[in-house]
A and B are shown apart, each in its own frame.
Chain A
C-alpha cells in the first residue's frame, strides 16, 4: 500500500481542517488534508455560503418588488424560475470551493481525496474508491464536521421531509413548508422561502424564536416575520411527522395545549447538527467521546496525545468561525511542539469572544453575556439600548427596525456582551467584539468618531446611552 509521511495529517477539509492545514504550512510544517467531498466542507458547499447566496437574492427580490410597487411600477414576475436562483447559489459554492483548493495548493498543503480512517495514533488510512493509501502524521487533527440531526419520529427522506442539505440542493420551490426549529438555520430558510412566495409555518419547542439569541432581538425578528405573513408557533411541541398523500403532516401540541396538524408540501427538520464521529477509528484509539462529541483540552488536544479535534465534533459552538480559530490554535500548538515556534496566544477559544450571527432580515448578531446569562450568574451589569430609528442611515435606507443592546459593568464600563438586531448587524457587531476583547470600555467606543451616516453610529450612540449622554434619542 502506498505510504506518505507528513508533520500533520488533517481529517476533513471544512473551515476547520483547511484553515488548520494552511496555518500549519505557514509555520513550516508539511500537511495533508483528507476530504471525501469538495473542499470547504458543509460551510462552503451545503451551508453558510450557498444559503447566503439564497438570502441575498431573496432580499433583493422581496425588497425590490416592494420598492417598485411603492413607486407605482407595474411588476410582472411570471417568468420567475427558482432554479436560476438556486444555480447562482451553487455557482458561489463551487467558486469558493475551488478557491480553497487554490489556497491549499498555494500553501503546499496536500489535498488527499477519499475517506480517511484513523488507523493508529499516527496514521490515517485513506480509501478513495477502493484505492488505499496510508498517511503518517506526527500529529493528527480530526475535523470531520457535522450533519443535520435526525429526530426519532421525524425521519428525513430528502423528498418530502428535508434537512437543510436537501433544501439547499433542491432546485424547486415548495408552495408550502412546515419548518421544525426556529434556530438560525430554520429562520434563515423561513426568510428565503417566504420572500419567494412559499407559505411558511415555523414550529419551535422553546418560548422564543432564535432561542440562543437575546429575547428582545428575537422578538423584533419574530415581529418582522409575522408581518411578512409567516405563521410562527413557539412553545409548541411537534409530536409526529408523517407523509400523507405526498404531503408532510406535522402533529403539534400548541402553547395553549391544543393539538394541531400542519400539512404542507414539504417539511424542514432544522433541530441542530450531529457530529460525524462514527466509523473513523476513534474507538480503537481510546479517545474520550461523549454523546458523539470528542472531548478536548488545551489547544484542542484530545485525550490521546498528538491527536487534536476541532470544529463541530467538539463541544464548542458549531460555527464555522469557531472551527477555523480552533484549527489555527491546534496547528500553532503542533508547530510549537515540532518546530519550537511560539505557543498560540490562547489555549482555547474563550466562549465569550465568539460572535454568533443570523442572516435573515433583520439580521441578529451577538457575543458575550446575554441579559439572561448575566442574571443567572448574578453579575453586576447595566443595559444600554439604542434603537435603529435613531440612526439616520437606518431611516434613510428604510431599515428602521432594530436595536443595539449592550451589557456593561457599571463601575468600569467594561463591555460584557452585546446583541444587535437590524440591518448590517452581522457586520457591525465586530466593532463591539473587538472593543470588548481589547478591553476598551464604553468611553473609548463613545469617544471614537463614527462616520455619518452609517449604521455603526448606533454602536457609538448605545455606548453614549450607557454613559448617560446619548445625542440622538
Chain B
C-alpha cells in the first residue's frame, strides 16, 4: 500500500528542513539505506536515507521546498501503484496560502466559538467571542468577563486544555481591583465551596499561589533586565581587615551599629565620583550620564524584593546614608515606598553576606548599568607581604555590568579602584 514518507528529525534539534535535492526521481525504485534526498536545516546539510525498499511514487515537497518534521514529503509504495488521493495529503507549507476559491461566510467561526479564527469574530446575538490568540473559553466565562469588565485574554484557564471557565474570570476579577465584582450567588460559585473541604487527609501534589502585583513587577523588571541587558561579571576578592577594623572602631562608640552596606555604598559613591562612565542609563538610542550618584540597596522583604535609594550619596556621610537606609527599610516594611524612593538608581549594591554566601552574581537593577554583589566577610588564607600564607578576613566582590554601556575595561578599572578603596577606606577622603 502506498505510504507517506515523512520528514523526520535528522538531528535532535531539527524542527523543519529544506529539501536541497532529490536523489531519486518519481517512479524510481530504491533500497533501504539509499540516499533519497538531501535536507538542509539552519545548522547543517544531512542525507535522508530510505527507511525501506520501495518505489518513489510521488514527490510532495520538491527541491527548494520546506517541510516541518512529521510532514509528508513524498509517497512511496509498489511500482505502478497509485499514490493516495491528494485530499489525504498534508498541505505543503512551502507555498503561500491560497485565497479560498469562494467567499466563505465563515460558518465554522459562528458554530464553534471555542476557537475563533478572525481577530474579533462575528458575535452571535451580541455574545462576545474570544479573540484569535486567546485560549479557549466557555460562553459563560466570556459573558461573565464582559459583566465584570475583565479582558479575558489576561485570564489563565483552569479547565480542560486550559479552557477559561467562569471561576477563572471571577478569581481574576477578585484579584485585580480594577474589575468590579458583583456578587450574584450562582450554583457554581456556591458549589465550588463544598468540594475541597479540609479533611486533613487530602494530599495535593502541588500548591499554586496566584502571583501578587508586587511579584509580577519583580518578575517583569528582572526579566526585562536579564533578557535585554547583556550581563557580564567581574570578580575581585579584597582584604577586609581594615574595613572590618574601621567599622568595629566606629560601632564601638555607638549605640546602633552602622551597617557594612552603608560603608560599601559610601565607598562605591566615592569610586563612582572618579568613574562617572559607570553611572549611566541605557536609553536605547543614547546613553544618559548621571550627574548625581543615586545608589540603591537591595532589601529582602517577606513578600519580595525592593531597592530603596539614597540620593546624592557623594554629598552625604556614612552616618546619614545609614540613617536614610534604615528609615527607608522601615517604611518599606510598613506602608511601602513611594516610587521616587526606589526608582532610578544609577548603581545598586546587594549583599548576601549575612546569609553566609561567599560570592554571587546579581541581575542589574535598571535603569542603572551596574550592580555590586557583596559576599560575606570571612577568613581565608591569603599571601602576606613576605609570601607567608596567613589567615585574613576577606570579602568577595562581583560586579555585574551592562555591556551595552560599560565595556569590560571600564568595569575592571572601576572594580579595581573600588577594591583598593574598600581595602583602605581612608582613600575615600583623598
Which residues does A use to contact B, with CB under 8 Å?
A: 295-299, 301-305, 336-337, 343, 345-353, 368-369, 377-380, 409, 411-414, 416-417, 436, 438-441, 443-444, 447
Contact = CB atoms under 8 A, between A and B. Distances in A.
B138 interface: yes
Interface string B136-179: 00111101100100000000000010000110000000000000
B196 interface: yes
4 closest cross-chain pairs (CB), A and B: A297-B199, A439-B138, A439-B140, A298-B202
Chain B interface residue number, banded: 20 to 34
A380 B202 contact: no
B195 A379 contact: no
B205 interface: yes
B61 to A, nearest CB: 37
A411 B199 contact: no
B202 A297 contact: yes
A436 B92 CA distance: 41
A346 B166 contact: no
Nearest to B146: A412
Q: Is the interface of A mostly helix, strand, loop or mixed?
A: loop
Interface stretch (B22-30, B76-84, B186-194, B298-306): B186-194
Contact of B188 (A302, A349, A414): A414
Contacts of A377: 185, 190
B11 interface: no
B283 interface: no
A185 to B, nearest CB: 26
B139 to A, nearest CB: 5
A347 B196 CA distance: 7
B194 A378 contact: no
B105 interface: no
B201 interface: yes
Contacts, number: 104
Interface in B119-134: 124-125, 127
A443 B125 contact: yes
Interface of B: 124-125, 127, 138-141, 143-144, 147, 160, 165-166, 182, 184-188, 190-192, 194-205
A139 B205 CA distance: 18
B202 A414 contact: no
Contacts of A379: 184-187, 190
B160 to A, nearest CB: 7
Nearest to B194: A351
Contact of A303 (B190, B199, B205): B199
Nearest to B145: A412
A320 to B, nearest CB: 21
A140 to B, nearest CB: 14
B427 to A, nearest CB: 62
Contacts of B139: 439-441, 443-444
Given A295-B199, A411-B182, A440-B140, 17 more contacts: A297-B198, A302-B201, A305-B203, A349-B195, A350-B191, A350-B195, A352-B188, A379-B186, A411-B143, A411-B147, A412-B143, A414-B187, A414-B188, A416-B186, A438-B138, A440-B138, A441-B127
A352 B195 CA distance: 11
20 contacts: A298-B195, A303-B201, A343-B205, A347-B202, A349-B195, A352-B188, A352-B191, A368-B187, A377-B185, A379-B187, A379-B190, A380-B184, A411-B143, A412-B143, A414-B143, A414-B187, A440-B138, A441-B139, A441-B140, A443-B139
Contact of A296 (B185, B192, B199): B199
Question: Taking each of A297, A302, A343, A379, which has the highest tally of chain B beta carbons within 10 Å of its own beta carbon?
Answer: A297
Contact of A417 (B141, B187, B196): B187
A299 B202 contact: yes
B160 A301 contact: no
A305 B202 CA distance: 9
